[in-house]
A and B are shown apart, each in its own frame.
Chain A
Amino acid sequence: MIEWLVPEASTYARDIDWLFTSIFLTVGFWFLLAQAVFFWLLFRFRRRDGVPAQYITGEEKAEKRWISIPHALVIACDVFLIAATVMVWRNVKQVLPPADETIRVIGQQWAWTFVHPGPDQQLGTEDDVTEVNELHVTNGTVYHFELTSKDVLHSFSVPAFRLKQDAVPGRIITGWFQPTTIGQYDIQCAEICGIGHALMPARLYVETESAHAAWLRDRQA
């Protein structure tokens, strides 16, 4: 459903889209059924001369079945959806695959700063490469990011990756992504952060390995 509007550009994008579609089909079915029964009852039991309403208390066991059976079905769907959710969440947020590279992402009013480790593969050294409001990454590489903020809450959101994580001042939050599709995508701030909230877009470039290496050389020259 989502990929119909926004491209999938990371490994877990398709997990999240699958979960979305599963929920859509599961609850969509019961939703349509409930609405159909509802409108049918309105039509079937509209007032007709000489036909009185029935006296049904709903307190007898046999009548309660009308509630308990749908209940059981709701619970069954809940169990399925919870299991599916747990799987997807673990995969996206909880268990991080080993990183090929770790970058730092810093939000502030109203810009994003991205720090790459540079050739020595160490963050916090001389050869770090810093960019503002642009993020260049290599297709297929597993990235860990260390996310923080300098002032207020921001949220690092890349819709095409199905990635979203709030940036909290005073904390460093680690997450991951692995790009799968070359192209340019939006990075948005998804947590209101003051009057510049809509003015802190950044651009994401997913590049081939050689293009990325060329870009890195350029930055260091």
Chain B
Amino acid sequence: MSHDTAAHAAAHGSVWRRWVFSTDHKVIGCQYLFTGMAMAVIGGLMSYVFRMQLAWPDAPVPGYGVVSPGEYNALVTNHGSIMIFWVAMPVLIAALGNFLIPLMIGCDDMVFPRLNRLSYQIFLLSALVLLGSLAVPGGGFGGAWTSYPPLSAKGAYNLTPYGAPLWLVAVALEFVAFLLGGINFVTTVMNARAPGMKASYIPMVVWMIIIASILFMASVGPLVAGAVMLLFDQILGTRFFDPAGGGDPLLWQHLFWFFGHPEVYVVLLPAMGIVAEIITVFSRKKLFAYNTVLLTAAGTGVLSFLVWAHHQFVAGIDPRMAHLFTVTTLLISIPIAEMTFVFIATLYGGSITFPTPMLFALAFIAEFLIGGVTGIFLGSSGTDIYLHDTYFVLAHFHYTFFPIAIIATFAALYFWFPKMFGRMMNDTLGKIHFWGTVIPFNFIFIPLFITGMGGDHRRIYSYENFPMQMTPFLQELRIVATVSLVILLLFQVVFLFNFFWSLFRGPKAPANPWRANTLEWTAPSPPPHGNFATMPSVYRGPYEYSVPGRADDYWPQHVAN
């Protein structure tokens, strides 16, 4: 118990010391989580405003008012930026990585706890700069989250002389935060594993966060360079991206997508890892082909660096390049299909139960499959000519990002909530929230596939100027999407209620409520500062469920025999 008392003493002191300036990985994880949740609410409300505008273009939006074209662009831009950089990354990588990595590999904290705290503080600053950029004269940046120059490079073009540079500074700060975090994650897993924790005993979600962090670090460099050049163009009048001064607008696109495409896998892989943890527990099965999953995850990561120009088929690059990028892009279907097969094969022969976390994990698989197969239409250069920058693209990437950033995240929150906060969430409310999220989700984005095929382009605040886009059929589809979004958002109130009510009033959680194998479940719920009463040793892999000849259907990693 001596460790416990010491940890307790260290955790004492003012609220300030314990919550704001804590270096405990769990506290930092929660800070990332709550910041990410707050940003998700903001990003979600933005989608409410612009979807209402699209459904009823002439009417003021209830609770907001009339949406001007400039505001519309700013809302879309910041919605996209927020959802990817301030929701998906902080929650999936920073919050879960921070909370889970030390607990799952059996150590007491990150190896660089202060660097960890600094990374959160920079991240918080980046979020504040972004929100501030919406309030400056000229308004928030409206040149899309891809920020293509020359539009983004000159105030005279984008008409947001302060919003555009502030947006860029915010994104750059966010990158710095994640670089620091990533370094910490990778070194921690390399150096601080519990005795006996071989590479092949590391839980899949930890592996995935590590691979994702490495991908991020390997891809972000060129973009940081690009961001500096763009900032110079904006405020110093250099002309890196301006052809009038010898620059090249397409250079930015290459730098951006060399980062931007791997970025999709940066958030996808942790989501896949979460799903692997959850479906093994609730089907009481060993993960099918652990080694193959790892290899393909790494392979997908490498391949993801070779596909960036599929975003630029019609951007004016040499048409012969399209063939190469079609091939590499369609090849990615192989590892992605592989991971889906692995999940499906893991279910085979299981003893499956369906509590809320499992429902979300399964929904991830079913919905992500739609995102995956619709990607083929866009990876094929021929059809991309028509579909590029239409709502088909938009529906496709929301079918990948929504399962990743929302559905898998909910799976993780319902699953690890007892460990994080020491209390159980209500399962019935969880199921109501589940159906209230997943059903409307499909009714938002299936119609948008069809409007995209019908010729609706993205980032258009009103189609009233395009007679062919104003058919009653297309307009009705837009209304279906918007009404479904409102329903989806209302059901999130159920989640928020469940979350905060359970936080204070939920029944106390036992240490291992799901009878799972991995090390975090051996620590008390919630784990004290320092995590484990006695440091665990590891004897086997994380997925030894239903091993023949054992009385229990699980066999925790730290139990000697």
Contact = CB atoms under 8 A, between A and B. Distances in A.
Contacts of B250: 168
Interface stretch (B1-9, B29-37, B142-150, B228-236): B142-150
Interface string B449-467: 0100111011111110111
B150 A153 contact: yes
Interface in A151-188: 151-153, 155, 157, 159-160, 162-166, 168-171, 173, 185-186, 188
Q: Which 6 A-B pairs have the closest CB atoms?
A: A170-B243, A54-B349, A88-B382, A58-B288, A58-B289, A159-B455
Contacts of B158: 194
Interface residues of B, number: 97
A98 B149 CA distance: 34
A159 B545 CA distance: 54
Interface stretch (B39-47, B88-96, B546-554): B546-554
Contacts of A52: 284, 351, 546, 553
Contact of A168 (B249, B352, B386, B548): B249
18 contacts: A2-B453, A16-B385, A31-B370, A38-B344, A46-B354, A55-B286, A56-B286, A59-B289, A67-B345, A78-B331, A85-B382, A155-B389, A164-B385, A164-B389, A195-B73, A195-B142, A197-B460, A198-B461
A152 B250 CA distance: 11
Given A46-B353, A58-B287, 18 more contacts: A2-B453, A34-B344, A42-B347, A47-B351, A53-B350, A55-B546, A56-B288, A67-B289, A81-B376, A93-B381, A151-B150, A159-B468, A186-B455, A190-B389, A193-B151, A194-B73, A195-B70, A195-B73
B492 interface: no
Contacts of A155: 314, 389
Nearest to A28: B373
Interface in A1-26: 1-2, 5-6, 15-16, 19-20, 23-24
Contact of A74 (B333, B354, B459, B465): B333
Interface in A105-130: 109
B362 interface: yes
Nearest to B248: A170
Contacts of A19: 380, 382-383
Which size class do A's interface residues fall under?
A: 35 or more
A42 to B, nearest CB: 6
Given A186-B466, A186-B468, A55 B315 contact: no
Nearest to B334: A74
